[in-house]
Amino acid sequence: MFFAETILAAKLLSSDPKARAENDLLYISDGNPSRYNFQIFSGSSMEKLVISEFQDIDGVRDTQTEREGKQLSVKIEVEKFDRPTRNKIFAKEKELYQEFPNTYFDFCLVDVSPEAGEDADSI
């Protein structure tokens, strides 16, 4: 059974990328939740997901990601550096940690509000 699923996963990954949606997450399972379950996703889809999650938060100006192995560095530029905005960002970070436990996130908040001064844009 596991061999057949491996063949299926290989076939799905090698198929024409235009034929499948770029952000699709494929799950392979043998029906037993404790064995042989894994998720297939492309790194670029993961990065796009993370960027879109933070871009939806009011007060976030820009989000940039950089992947190195299992680590995903996420730089979040915040125009509105108040407590409610930061709490929304921290809640989203916690969600991502729980949703992707095998990814090591490195989050960096950068205050680019007018109160932060001129040097904030050069960080």
Share in percent of the chain as helix, strand, coil (round to 5):
45, 25, 30
Residue 33, amino acid: P
> Which class is domain 43-122?
alpha beta
Nearest C-alpha neighbor of 63 from the set 102, 112, 118:
112
Number of neighbours of residue 63 by Cβ within 10 angstroms: 19
Sequential pLDDT tens for the chain (123 residues): 445 455 555 555 555 444 444 444 454 445 555 444 445 554 567 889 999 999 999 999 999 999 988 899 999 999 988 999 999 999 999 999 999 898 899 999 999 988 877 555 544
**Which residue ranges does the chain devote to CATH 3.30.300.30?**
43-122
pTM of the model: 0.60
